[in-house]
Amino acid sequence: MSEVNDLSPERFPCPDDYDHLLQELRLMAGREERDLELYDFLIDQVTPQPALQQEDRVITNRNVLRINRDVTRRNLQILEETYCQITGERIIPIRQRFILPISYRAGLERAIMHELRDAEIYRDMILNLPEGMLTQTAFRLYTNTMMNIDRANFLFSRTTI
Protein backbone atom coordinates (compact mmCIF):
# COMPACT_ATOMS: atom_id res chain seq x y z
CA MET A 1 0.00 0.00 0.00
CA SER A 2 1.06 3.57 -0.56
CA GLU A 3 1.95 5.82 2.33
CA VAL A 4 -1.17 7.89 1.67
CA ASN A 5 -3.44 4.85 1.82
CA ASP A 6 -1.86 3.08 4.79
CA LEU A 7 -4.54 1.03 6.51
CA SER A 8 -2.10 -0.77 8.77
CA PRO A 9 -3.71 -1.85 12.07
CA GLU A 10 -1.47 0.50 14.07
CA ARG A 11 -2.47 3.49 12.00
CA PHE A 12 -6.08 2.96 10.96
CA PRO A 13 -7.67 -0.18 12.32
CA CYS A 14 -11.02 -0.13 10.53
CA PRO A 15 -14.27 -1.79 11.45
CA ASP A 16 -15.51 -4.75 9.47
CA ASP A 17 -17.95 -2.50 7.62
CA TYR A 18 -15.35 -0.27 5.95
CA ASP A 19 -17.83 1.10 3.37
CA HIS A 20 -20.17 2.18 6.17
CA LEU A 21 -17.35 4.13 7.82
CA LEU A 22 -16.55 5.97 4.57
CA GLN A 23 -20.25 6.70 4.06
CA GLU A 24 -20.47 8.05 7.61
CA LEU A 25 -17.47 10.34 7.03
CA ARG A 26 -19.11 11.68 3.87
CA LEU A 27 -22.40 12.21 5.72
CA MET A 28 -20.72 14.08 8.56
CA ALA A 29 -18.80 16.27 6.10
CA GLY A 30 -22.15 17.25 4.57
CA ARG A 31 -23.61 17.98 8.00
CA GLU A 32 -20.60 20.15 8.89
CA GLU A 33 -20.97 22.08 5.61
CA ARG A 34 -24.65 22.70 6.38
CA ASP A 35 -23.74 23.86 9.90
CA LEU A 36 -21.25 26.34 8.43
CA GLU A 37 -24.13 27.88 6.47
CA LEU A 38 -26.21 28.03 9.64
CA TYR A 39 -23.44 29.76 11.63
CA ASP A 40 -22.94 32.26 8.79
CA PHE A 41 -26.68 33.00 8.92
CA LEU A 42 -26.57 33.46 12.70
CA ILE A 43 -23.54 35.75 12.52
CA ASP A 44 -25.40 37.94 10.03
CA GLN A 45 -28.46 38.06 12.33
CA VAL A 46 -26.66 39.20 15.47
CA THR A 47 -27.56 42.68 16.58
CA PRO A 48 -24.97 44.78 18.40
CA GLN A 49 -25.10 44.14 22.10
CA PRO A 50 -23.08 44.97 25.19
CA ALA A 51 -19.99 42.84 25.57
CA LEU A 52 -19.03 40.79 28.58
CA GLN A 53 -15.47 41.43 29.76
CA GLN A 54 -13.45 38.35 30.54
CA GLU A 55 -9.69 38.37 30.99
CA ASP A 56 -9.03 41.28 28.65
CA ARG A 57 -11.21 39.74 25.93
CA VAL A 58 -14.57 40.98 24.82
CA ILE A 59 -17.22 38.30 24.53
CA THR A 60 -19.99 39.16 22.10
CA ASN A 61 -22.57 36.92 20.51
CA ARG A 62 -20.88 37.46 17.17
CA ASN A 63 -17.48 36.38 18.56
CA VAL A 64 -18.96 33.23 20.09
CA LEU A 65 -20.70 32.35 16.82
CA ARG A 66 -17.46 32.92 14.91
CA ILE A 67 -15.68 30.54 17.27
CA ASN A 68 -18.36 27.89 16.65
CA ARG A 69 -18.11 28.45 12.90
CA ASP A 70 -14.32 28.09 13.04
CA VAL A 71 -14.57 24.89 15.10
CA THR A 72 -17.13 23.54 12.63
CA ARG A 73 -14.78 24.42 9.76
CA ARG A 74 -11.98 22.60 11.60
CA ASN A 75 -14.20 19.52 12.01
CA LEU A 76 -14.86 19.55 8.27
CA GLN A 77 -11.13 19.81 7.63
CA ILE A 78 -10.46 16.86 9.97
CA LEU A 79 -13.07 14.78 8.12
CA GLU A 80 -11.53 15.71 4.75
CA GLU A 81 -8.01 14.85 5.90
CA THR A 82 -9.10 11.57 7.49
CA TYR A 83 -11.00 10.46 4.40
CA CYS A 84 -8.02 11.29 2.21
CA GLN A 85 -5.61 9.44 4.51
CA ILE A 86 -7.81 6.35 4.45
CA THR A 87 -8.73 6.27 0.76
CA GLY A 88 -6.15 8.46 -0.95
CA GLU A 89 -9.10 10.33 -2.50
CA ARG A 90 -10.82 13.61 -1.89
CA ILE A 91 -14.07 13.39 0.09
CA ILE A 92 -17.35 14.12 -1.66
CA PRO A 93 -19.70 15.20 1.15
CA ILE A 94 -23.28 13.97 1.20
CA ARG A 95 -25.03 17.33 0.96
CA GLN A 96 -27.44 18.25 3.70
CA ARG A 97 -30.23 20.66 2.82
CA PHE A 98 -29.95 24.07 4.50
CA ILE A 99 -33.30 25.60 5.40
CA LEU A 100 -33.24 29.25 6.41
CA PRO A 101 -34.38 29.65 10.05
CA ILE A 102 -37.27 32.03 10.69
CA SER A 103 -35.36 33.93 13.37
CA TYR A 104 -32.07 34.19 15.23
CA ARG A 105 -33.51 32.28 18.19
CA ALA A 106 -34.88 29.53 15.93
CA GLY A 107 -31.46 29.34 14.28
CA LEU A 108 -29.76 28.91 17.65
CA GLU A 109 -32.23 26.16 18.57
CA ARG A 110 -31.46 24.43 15.29
CA ALA A 111 -27.70 24.82 15.81
CA ILE A 112 -27.99 23.21 19.24
CA MET A 113 -30.04 20.31 17.88
CA HIS A 114 -27.65 19.80 14.93
CA GLU A 115 -24.66 19.80 17.26
CA LEU A 116 -26.36 17.36 19.63
CA ARG A 117 -27.09 14.96 16.78
CA ASP A 118 -23.51 15.32 15.51
CA ALA A 119 -22.19 14.57 19.00
CA GLU A 120 -24.27 11.37 19.10
CA ILE A 121 -22.87 10.26 15.74
CA TYR A 122 -19.28 11.02 16.78
CA ARG A 123 -19.84 9.22 20.11
CA ASP A 124 -21.10 6.16 18.27
CA MET A 125 -18.03 6.30 16.01
CA ILE A 126 -15.81 6.27 19.08
CA LEU A 127 -17.67 3.29 20.54
CA ASN A 128 -17.73 1.30 17.29
CA LEU A 129 -14.18 1.82 16.03
CA PRO A 130 -11.25 -0.32 17.06
CA GLU A 131 -8.68 1.49 19.21
CA GLY A 132 -6.34 3.59 17.07
CA MET A 133 -6.00 6.85 15.21
CA LEU A 134 -9.59 6.82 13.96
CA THR A 135 -10.85 6.57 17.52
CA GLN A 136 -8.67 9.54 18.46
CA THR A 137 -9.96 11.48 15.46
CA ALA A 138 -13.59 10.70 16.36
CA PHE A 139 -12.90 11.77 19.96
CA ARG A 140 -11.49 15.09 18.72
CA LEU A 141 -14.58 15.65 16.56
CA TYR A 142 -16.81 14.74 19.51
CA THR A 143 -15.12 17.12 21.96
CA ASN A 144 -15.12 19.96 19.41
CA THR A 145 -18.85 19.42 18.93
CA MET A 146 -19.53 19.31 22.67
CA MET A 147 -17.77 22.65 23.11
CA ASN A 148 -19.91 24.09 20.29
CA ILE A 149 -23.01 22.89 22.17
CA ASP A 150 -21.86 24.65 25.35
CA ARG A 151 -21.23 27.92 23.51
CA ALA A 152 -24.55 27.70 21.63
CA ASN A 153 -26.40 27.06 24.91
CA PHE A 154 -24.65 30.10 26.40
CA LEU A 155 -25.94 32.21 23.50
CA PHE A 156 -29.40 30.70 23.78
CA SER A 157 -29.54 31.60 27.46
CA ARG A 158 -28.66 35.19 26.51
CA THR A 159 -31.69 35.37 24.19
CA THR A 160 -34.08 34.68 27.06
CA ILE A 161 -32.74 37.46 29.31
What is residue 52's DSSP assignment?
E
Predicted pLDDT at 21: 86
Give the relative orientation of helices 18-45 and 104-128 as an angle to the nearest 10 degrees.
160
Residues 6+ apart with CB under 8 A from 72: 32, 35, 36, 39, 148
Per-residue pLDDT of the chain (161 residues; tens, 9 = 90+): 344 444 544 555 555 667 888 999 999 999 999 999 999 999 999 876 555 555 556 678 899 999 999 999 999 999 999 999 888 999 999 998 999 999 999 999 999 999 999 999 999 999 888 777 888 999 999 999 999 999 999 999 988 75
Q: Where are the domains of the chain?
A: 18-159
- What is the tens place of the pLDDT at every residue in 104-119? 999 999 999 999 999 9
Cβ proximity of 138 and 91 under 8 Å: no
Read off φ and ψ for residue 6, nearest 5 degrees: -95, 100
Question: Which overall architecture, per CATH, does domain 18-159 show?
Answer: Up-down Bundle (1.20)
Total residues found in the chain within this entry: 161
- What is the tens place of the pLDDT at every residue in 96-105? 899 999 999 9
